[in-house]
Amino acid sequence: MTDRELISLANEAMANSYSPYSHFPSGAAIECDDGEVFTGCVIENAAFGHTLCAETVALSSAVAEGKRSFRRLAVISDGVNYTMPCGACRQMLAEFSPQLEILAVRGDGRYVSHTLDKLLPHPFTYRT
C-alpha cells in the first residue's frame, strides 16, 4: 500500500468524525505489520475526558482484533497544519510500535513523515 492509499483511507474515516465541540474532524489509518489496515475517527464526548482521538480509535480497533505490531499510521484533519498525534496518542502507539512511521497530513493532502521515536523519544514503559 502506498502512502497515498493509506492517507486516502484516513481521509475516508475522517468523514465519520464526531466532533461537535472542537469542530476539528480527524481520521486515521494504521497499517499492521501484516498489511491489514484499521481506521478510526475522532469521537468527542460532552465529558471531554472521554474523547477518543482518531489514532486511538484505529489502534484500539486493531488491538481488539489481535494485532500487536504496526508499521505506519496516517492521521489527517481538515486544517492547514500537519496533523500530529497528541501526546497521549504517542504514548498509546509507543506501547506497540516505538519505531512506527507517522504520516501527518494537512487538509490539502500534503504530509510529512516522522518516526514515533523522534516524536516521543522517552515513552513511559513498565518493566518488572
Using CB under 5 A as the binding rule, whether residue 53 contacts Zn ion is answered as yes
Q: Look up 55 and say whether it is catalytic.
A: yes
28 binds Zn ion (CB under 5 A): no
Pick the piece of the chain touching Zn ion (CB under 5 A) from 18-26, 82-90, 93-101, 104-112: 82-90
Find the part of the chain contacting Zn ion (CB under 5 A) among 16-24, 46-54, 66-74, 102-110.
Answer: 46-54
Interacting residue with Zn ion among 5, 24, 86, 109 (CB under 5 A): 86
Name the nearest CA neighbour of 100 among 43, 62, 44: 62
Among residues 14, 89, 94, 103, which is the contact residue for Zn ion, using CB under 5 A?
A: 89
Q: Where are the alpha helices (H) located in 15-73, listed in sequence order? A: 54-64
Indicate the residue among 1 and 18 with the shorter CB distance to Zn ion.
Answer: 18
Residue type, 128: T
Q: What is the number of other CB atoms lying within 10 angstroms of the CB of residue 127?
A: 3
CB 48 within 8 A of CB 19: no
**From the CB of 59, what's the least distance to Zn ion, in Å?**
10
Q: Look up residue 46 and give its three cell numbers.
A: 460532552
Q: How far apart are CA 29 and CA 76, in angstroms?
A: 9
Q: Which residues bind Zn ion (CB under 5 A)?
A: 53, 86, 89
